[in-house]
A = this chain, B = another copy of it.
Amino acid sequence: MNITEFFELSLGRWRSQRSGHHLAFAHFEESLSTIDIVPLDCGDEAVIEVCKTNDINPQDITHPFRMTWEGESDWDDKALAGTTVLVSVPDLANPAQGKLLRDRGYAETVNAAGRYTFGDDGVFTLITGCDRAGAEERIWFANPNVRFRVATIKSSDGNGITTASFPSEIRSLSNS
């Protein structure tokens, strides 16, 4: 699998079953959600806006898409819902790595650009933030209809990982 196939396989509707681990307290969180990943046109207004904010030429991007999620968690019974636009900017020298830009909405002030690499083992690794604080996510396909992710948040003091989450995702073949 190459990076283009990886992005294309990600498109569609996914049923996501997610476990969150709060490592210091060995606390478990469970959530279920539906995730829609829809390709966007490179000329889409939201895509152009992400490029502008990050000072990127829209001609250098590939695979812009919108991700929308909706679900529920047993942690405080909170509802989960959101939408974001993601845009990849592959390195010229090596398209298996690059920047992933993200529209995090006007409520967020953090720079939402991350670095990704796509390994020979089919694992897409995304690192957001600096060395001492930030997030790392690994995503891979077990088969074309099953996708796994592990996301970790590092604490701002740089001493450790505070939370890890594991969503396992099954492609929803119906549209309901």
A residues neighboring B (CB under 8 Å): 15, 17, 19, 21, 23, 26, 28, 30, 32, 117, 119-121, 123, 125, 136, 138, 140, 142-143, 145-146, 148, 150, 152, 154, 160-161, 164, 166, 168, 170
Contact = CB atoms under 8 A, between A and B. Distances in A.
A136 B142 contact: yes
Nearest to A163: B168
Contacts of A148: 150, 152, 164
A120 B117 CA distance: 10
Query: For chain A, what secondary structure do more than half of its interface residues adopt (helix, strand, loop), or is it mixed?
Result: strand
Nearest to A120: B119
B142 A152 contact: yes
B161 A146 contact: yes
29 contacts: A17-B23, A17-B28, A19-B19, A19-B21, A19-B28, A19-B166, A21-B166, A21-B168, A23-B146, A23-B168, A117-B121, A119-B120, A119-B121, A120-B120, A121-B123, A121-B138, A136-B142, A142-B152, A142-B154, A142-B161, A143-B160, A145-B160, A146-B152, A146-B161, A148-B150, A148-B152, A148-B164, A150-B150, A166-B166
